[in-house]
């Protein structure tokens, strides 16, 4: 229900803007921000760095998991020969090892983890640069409004291709203007 209401509000806002643009001569355009990020070389380089670091941390996490599995299997094999104190010590060690793995996962891949911080630190300056170029394109094309149209966020439900300025933004970014 909430999604339906949000879609209705967005459609109503777009309809209002379109009627205003016809009445007042407003010019509206749109870009695909996801495509811009995919095609902009600086963003591609940043994504490669993010992916490489994420893979390294994922490999470390998998190694920790494999070590835990190996230690658990070793414990199961010798469990029958251990006294209660030794069993308790081994179980405590295994629990601590599992906890270290969970802590590593949270520190690296959690919502505010190292990967999220790295992504933010690398992509925020690039996004600011893209926004400046979008603003430059909007001013040079005399656009009153510029919407985003990508697969993740449906702010624009339909747009005629002649009002798509994605390639203009990509071109200016790659030329450094």
**Residue located via tokens 């009002």:** 163
Question: Which pLDDT score is estimated for 154?
Answer: 66
The count of structural domains within the chain is: 1
Q: What is the mean pLDDT of the chain?
A: 86
Question: Which pLDDT score is estimated for 177?
Answer: 60
Encode pLDDT of 128-173 as tens digits.
999 999 989 988 888 888 888 887 776 665 667 777 888 889 988 8
Q: What contacts 102, CB < 8 A, 6 or more positions away?
A: none
**43, pLDDT greater than 60:** yes
Question: Which pLDDT score is estimated for 151?
Answer: 76
Q: Phi/psi of residue 110, each to 5°?
A: -70, 170
Q: What is the largest CA-CA distance in the chain?
A: 87
DSSP string of 92-155, one letter each residue: HHHHHHHHHHHHHHHHHHSTTSHHHHHHHHHHHHHHHHHHHHHHHHHHHTT-SEEEEB-SS-BS
- Name residue 68's beta-bridge partners: none
Instruction: Give the span between the Cα atoms of 59 and 54, in whole angstroms.
Output: 9
| Domain with 153 in it | 2-175
Average pLDDT of 76-81?
A: 90
Which of the pair, 28 or 46, is modelled with greater confidence? 46
**73, pLDDT greater than 80:** yes
């Amino acid at each position: 229900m909430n999604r339906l209401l949000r879609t209705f509000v967005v459609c109503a806002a777009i309809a209002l803007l379109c009627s205003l643009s016809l009445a007042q001569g407003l010019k509206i355009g749109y870009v695909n921000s996801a495509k811009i990020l995919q095609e902009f070389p600086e963003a591609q380089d940043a994504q490669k760095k993010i992916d490489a670091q994420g893979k390294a941390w994922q490999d470390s996490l998998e190694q920790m998991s494999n070590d835990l599995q190996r230690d658990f299997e070793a414990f199961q094999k010798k469990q029958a020969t251990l006294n209660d104190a030794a069993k308790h010590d081994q179980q405590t060690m295994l629990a601590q090892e599992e906890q270290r793995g969970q802590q590593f996962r949270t520190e690296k891949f959690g919502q505010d983890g190292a990967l999220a911080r790295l992504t933010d630190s690398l992509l925020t300056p690039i996004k600011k640069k893209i926004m400046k170029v979008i603003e430059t394109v909007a001013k040079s094309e005399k656009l009153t409004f510029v919407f985003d149209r990508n697969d993740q966020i449906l702010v624009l439900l339909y747009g005629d291709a002649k009002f798509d300025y994605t390639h203009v933004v990509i071109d200016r970014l790659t030329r450094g203007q």
